Amino acid sequence: MKLYVLVRNDLSKSQQAVQAGHAVAEFLLSYKDTEWKNGILVYLKSPGDWDLYNNMERALKKGAPYIPFYEPDMNDEITAVAILGTEGIPDMLENYRLV
């Protein structure tokens, strides 16, 4: 099982790493009984907040567990979303590039 983390591409590389890490932590706090047990982790570039919201909606429709991360130091803007790679999610994200 893979855990995909979409992170905004308009952030610096160091900010992307931190925000993606926050999203993973939030996912694990929210889904304590997750199938993902520190397995494969995939960081993907997202073109912006609108794309993160779009992918949350798509994950919801597919029934995939997901969690957004909103950065308090950036006016609570959404910066990343972690999505469990259940059926249909890898295909949904196939055109995204690695961070």
pLDDT, tens digit (0-9, with 9 covering 90-100), for 52-77 = 999 999 999 999 999 999 999 999 99
- pTM confidence score: 0.96
Contacts of 20 (CB under 8 A, 6+ apart): 5, 7, 43, 80, 99
Give the pairing type, strands 2-8 and 40-46.
parallel
pLDDT, tens digit (0-9, with 9 covering 90-100), for 34-58 = 999 999 999 999 999 999 999 999 9
